[in-house]
Amino acid sequence: MSTPSTPSLARRVGAEIIGTFWLVLAGCGTAVLAATATTTATASTQTLFVGVGYVGVALAFGLAVTTAAYGLGHISGGHFNPAVSLGLAVARRLPWRDLPAYVVGQLVGAVLGAGALYAVASGRSGFDAATGFATNGYGAQSPQQYGLAAVLVTEVVLTAVFVVVILGATDTPAPKGFAPLAIGLTLTVIHLVSIPVSNTSVNPARSIAPALFAGGTALGQLWVFVVAPLAGGVLAALLHRAVLAQREQPAPQRVSAES
């Protein structure tokens, strides 16, 4: 039974669904709808729409997780990512019994977000989810043709950095109220580094949802973007427990937007 200060599991999972929905819709939506320049032509004129590029997509993901963490973090902790939830469980910040429900909620939210994006994107003539739906990949599916080894290293290391920042920013001695900002800025930098390499996952839910709509090679390469982020989350938790944590006893569950 939940204590008065702890939201029920149903409320927490609901917050994870909404937050992950927003993360996928905003981040992947920017990548699909606004990243590249497009041209429209009529009989007498031609109009160029300038895209936001890698920087714009990176900011979209970072701002989405920041806003979601401020708005929903006090309910669920603001994970919106199975790798984060797994890392927090290993770090003893999230009860293991709650982990499956969190992951299911995140997957549901991600699929709903990708579904909403698909409904919008498919309204444009020539749209093809198999080639333009913000999926992750390596080799020919990497934005700049990086190989499998480079993608694995990138995803494991950057996910580990992300989870280390989350664990540190939400720890008791950390400045209060700034955790979502630190987390969002970190995710922005992660995207700036890794969009050319893998189109940036660091989040299995974010990768699974678009791949379900794109199918084909995106589904065939999906295992990388499930295994590598989860490994990075576990690595971060173990590193934090061994080197960075200030407690001998398990820390109480903290939320990313706590102030």
Which pLDDT tens digits describe the chain residue by residue (259 residues)?
Answer: 344 578 999 999 999 999 999 999 999 999 999 988 666 656 566 666 778 999 999 999 999 999 999 999 999 999 999 999 999 999 999 999 999 999 999 999 999 999 999 999 999 988 999 999 999 999 999 999 999 999 999 999 999 999 999 999 999 888 889 999 999 999 999 999 999 999 999 999 999 999 999 999 999 999 999 999 999 999 999 999 999 876 544 444 444 443 3
Q: CA 158, 165, 5 angle in degrees (round to 5)?
A: 130
Alpha-carbon separation of residue 117 from 32, 67, 153, 170, 247 (angstroms): 8, 19, 29, 31, 43
**pLDDT (0 to 100) of residue 49:** 74
CA 203 to chain centre: 4
Nearest residue to 31 (alpha-carbon basis) of 123, 103, 109, 135? 135
What residue ranges in 38-124 does DSSP mark as E strands? Answer: 38-41, 46-49
Query: What structural domains does the chain harbor?
Result: 9-244 (1.20.1080.10)
Nearest residue to 27 (alpha-carbon basis) of 7, 56, 69? 56
Helices (H) and strands (E) in the chain, counts: 9, 2
Flag whether the pTM goes above 0.95. Answer: no
Alpha-carbon span 252 to 259, nearest angstrom: 15
**pLDDT (0 to 100) of residue 47:** 63
What does R_g of the chain's alpha carbons equal in angstroms?
A: 18
**pLDDT (0 to 100) of residue 256:** 47
Mean pLDDT of the chain: 91
